Amino acid sequence: MSEVTPPRGPDDGGWRGEQPTRRALLLKLAVLINAVVALLFAIPVVGYILAPALRRTYLTWIALGPVENFPVGQTLLVSYRNPFVKPWDGPTADIPCWVRRLGQDEFQIFAINCTHLGCPVRWFQESQLFMCPCHGGVYYADGRRASGPPPRPLYRYPYRIRNGQLWVQAGQLPTLGQAQV
Amino acid sequence: MQRWLRTIGGWLEERTHLAGAIEETARHRVPRNSASWWYVFGSATFTVLILQIVTGICLATVYVPAADRAWNSLIYLNYQEPLGWYLRALHGWGSNFMVALMFIHLIQVFLFGAYKYPRELTWLAGVVLLLCTLGMAFTGQVLRFDQDAYWGLGIAAAIMGRAPLVGPRLVHLLLGGPIIAGETLSRFFALHVFVIPGLLLSFVALHLFLVLRLGINEWPVPGRLVKREIYLREYHELVERDGESFFPWAAQKDLLFAGLIVLALLVVAAVAGPIGPNGRPDPSIIETVPRPDIFFLWLFALFALLPPWTETFLILVGPLVLIAILIGLPFYSGTGEKSFRRRPFAVVFVILAFLLFATMTWLGLSSPWSPVMDAWSAVATPVAYVKGRTPLQLQGALLIQDKQCRNCHAMGGQGGRRGPALDSVATRLTRNELIRQILQGGGNMPAYGSNLSPAEVDAIVDFLQTMTPAGEPPARNSAPPAEP
C-alpha cells in the first residue's frame, strides 16, 4: 500500500508540486477567470474602436438643388451637407463637388478629391481643365486624366433627377479602393 | 531653513530609502571619453519632451478638440488668451526642435556603433521612440485643425485607401467615419494626448533604464572590435581603469547643452511666433495649397516624383521596409567594428540619407511640379515680350494668359515650373512642332485640341515664334520639305 503524499518544496507550500493541491488549483482558476474577463472587456472596447470600419459603405441620395441652377455646358462647384454627420462636425461636413451639365438630363458629378492623394482639384473654365495644387495632377473637363501622377480619372458620383431636382449618391470620401464610378 | 529641509529629507529617507539609489545613479561611473559633447543629444531631446508635456497641458486647458470649435480656439489662443500665442509657439517649435534633436541623436548613436551588443534593446526602444515622436508630430499637425491639417488627413486617407482589400476599412478606421470630420479630430486628439504619450513615456523609461543598466556606450576606438564573449568584461575594466563619475563630469555637459537648447527654443518661439493655423478647415474653400509641416515635406516631394507605377507599392511597403531595417540593424551587425572611421558604408549611408532628406525638403518647399494656380491672372506678361508685336501676336500673348498656360509655364522667371519656360521656346520648337504640342499635348502637357479654335492656335503660335532671345536663331526643321 503506498500512500501518496504530495511532495512539499522547502517553502512553496506545494505550489510547484506535481500533485495538484487545492491552493494550486486556486491560481489556475484565477488565471482562467482573468482570461475570460479580459476577453469580455476587450470585445466592447475593440468593437467601439473598430465600429466606423465595420460598416462597408456610407452612401445615400442627397439633393443638390433644382436642375435649372446648373446651366448647360458649365461646371459649377456645389456643396452639400454630408448626411452622416455629428452635431459637432461644423464646416467639415460641408462637402464640395463639381457639377458639369452636358445636356438637358445629362450630368457629370465629380468628387473634389484628386485621385492621386486626395487634394482639392480646381476647375479652370478658360482652359477647360481641372488642376490639383499638390502634385500637379491635371484632368480634362470630362474627368479624364490629362497629365501628372493621378492613376485614374476623377471620381464620379452617381446622379438622378427627380421632380426637377438633381440628386447625387454620396456620403463618403472616395479613395482608390472605394470609388463608385 | 536648512534645518527644515534636512528634517523633511530625513523624514522622506526614513520611509523611502531612495537616497542611496539616487546617489548611486548620479555617481555611476562612465567611461571618461563618453563624458563628451557628442553624447548630449539624447538628454536634450528628453528635455524638450518635458517642455512639450508642460506646454501641451497648458494648451489643453483652452483648446477645444471638437471639429466645429478647434480652429476658433486656436485663433483665441493666438490673439486673446494671455500668452496663448507664446505657449502655442513653444509647443509648435518645440516639436520641430524635438524631432531635429532626435534625428541628430539617432545619427550619433548609429555612427558610434552604440546599437551593437549588448545595447540592441536600447536601440529598439529608440526605434519605438522615433516612431512615437514622428507620430506626435503628425497628430499634432492634425490638432492644428486648419486647411493643411484637413487636406493632410485627406492625403493620409488616400494612402490608406490604396491598401489592397482592407483599404476602405482602414480609411474609415483612420477617419472614424466616412469623411474627415468631428470624429477624425477626436480620434487624433486621443492619440496625441493619451495613447502616444503613454507609449512614449514608457519607452523613455525603458530606454533610460537600459542606458543605466548596461552603461553608456564607450567612445569607439578604431580596431577595438565588439565580441560577445569579452565585451562586458572589457567594458567593466575600461570603466574601472578610465572612468569617472557621471555627475558632474558628464552631466554638466548634458545640463549646459540642454539649457542652451531651451534658451534657443525660447528665443525662436518669441521671434517666429506660433505656427498657424492657416485657413478654416472648411473643405468647400478650395482656394488652398495644402503643404505638410517641414519634417514631412520630403515625403510630399517623393509623392510628386515617384514614377506612378511604383507609387502604390512604395507608399505602402516603403515605410515598413525602413522600419524593418532599423529594427534589424542590431541583429544584422550586432558585433564587430564600432568606430565610424572603419565603417565607410555607414558614413556614406548617413551622408546619402541626409542629402536625400535635404534635397527632397528643398524641392518640397519650392514644389516645381505644382501648377501656380493664380499665375494666369496674377502674373503679367513681360513688357519686352509685347513691344512691337503684331495684333495677331498680341492676341496670342493674351490667350497664353487667358488659357492658364502661365500656371505651368514661366515667362521672365514668373509663373509655374511644371512645364518648360517659354522665354526661348522658339529656339527649340519649329512652328509645326509648336502646333502639334499645343493640339496633342504630351510629355505631361494636356492636349488643347478640343479647347482652342484654329484661329486661337494660330495667334498663340505666332506669338510663341517671337520667343527667341537675342542672338539665338529660331529652330529649323532638320529635313525641310523638298522644293517643288
User: Cβ of A90 and B69 within 8 Å?
Assistant: yes
Would you list the domain boundaries of chain B? 26-366, 375-464
Residue of B148, B162, B172, B407 to mutate when probing chain A, most A C-beta within 10 A = B172
The set of cell numbers assigned to B14 is: 526614513
The set of cell numbers assigned to B103 is: 534625428
Contacts of B65 in chain A (CB under 8 A): none
Q: Which of A86, A128, A135 sits opposite B182 (nearest CB)?
A: A86
The CATH code of domain B26-366 reads 1.20.810.10
Residue of B179, B363, B409, B460 to mutate when probing chain A, most A C-beta within 10 A = B179
Query: What is the identity of the amino acid at B463?
Result: F
Is A56 a residue whose pLDDT tops 90? no
A116 at interface of B, judged by CB pairs closer than 8 A: yes
Spatial separation of the C-alpha atoms in residues B350 and B330, rounded to whole Å: 16
Superfamily the domain B375-464 falls into:
Cytochrome c-like domain (1.10.760.10)
Rg over alpha carbons for chain B, rounded to the nearest Å, is 30
As a whole number of Å, the end-to-end CA separation of chain A is 84
Query: Is there a contact between A60 and A83 (Cβ–Cβ < 8 Å)?
Result: yes
User: Cβ of B282 and A92 within 8 Å?
Assistant: yes
Would the pTM count as exceeding 0.95?
no
Is A7 a residue whose pLDDT tops 80? no
Angle ∠(B147,B166,B124) on CA atoms, nearest 5: 80
Q: How confident is the model over A83-95, as a mean pLDDT?
A: 94
Would you list the domain boundaries of chain A? 1-54, 60-170
List B residues 86-115 in contact with A (Cβ-Cβ < 8 A).
none
Q: Share the mean pLDDT of chain A.
A: 89
The set of cell numbers assigned to B345 is: 558604408
Query: Is there a contact between A151 and A176 (Cβ–Cβ < 8 Å)?
Result: yes
The set of cell numbers assigned to B268 is: 525662436
Angle ∠(B26,B28,B33) on CA atoms, nearest 5: 110
pLDDT value at position B480?
A: 72
> Which residues have C-beta within 8 Å of that of residue B96, sequence separation ≥ 6?
B293, B294, B295
The C-alpha of A46 sits at a distance from chain B's nearest C-alpha, in angstroms, of 12
User: Cβ of B286 and A118 within 8 Å?
Assistant: no
List B residues 356-395 in contact with A (Cβ-Cβ < 8 A).
369-371, 373, 376
List B residues 233-272 in contact with A (Cβ-Cβ < 8 A).
none
Q: In the structure, what pLDDT confidence band is assigned to residue B35 with cuts at 50, 70 and 90?
A: very high
**Short-list B437, B33, B288, B254, CA closest to A118:** B288
User: Cβ of A173 and B159 within 8 Å?
Assistant: no
Spatial separation of the C-alpha atoms in residues A126 and B401, rounded to whole Å: 10
3-state secondary structure of A95: strand
Query: Is there a contact between B399 and B459 (Cβ–Cβ < 8 Å)?
Result: yes
Is A21 a residue whose pLDDT tops 80? no
Instruction: List strand residue ranges (DSSP E) for B20-165, in order.
Output: 29-31
Spatial separation of the C-alpha atoms in residues B424 and B97, rounded to whole Å: 45
Q: What are phi and psi of B176, to 5 degrees?
A: 70, 25
pLDDT value at position B484?
A: 64
User: Cβ of A176 and B167 within 8 Å?
Assistant: yes
Q: In the structure, what pLDDT confidence band is assigned to residue A1 with cuts at 50, 70 and 90?
A: very low
Sheet of strand A138-140: strand arrangement: A122-124, A129-131, A138-140, A145-147
The C-alpha of A7 sits at a distance from chain B's nearest C-alpha, in angstroms, of 39
B171, with CB counted inside 10 A (0-12, 13-18, 19+), is buried
Q: Share the mean pLDDT of chain B.
A: 95
Nearest CA in chain B to A170: B178
Model ipTM value: 0.90
- Hey, what CATH topology would domain A60-170 get? Rieske Iron-sulfur Protein (2.102.10)
CA B468 to centroid of chain Cα atoms: 41
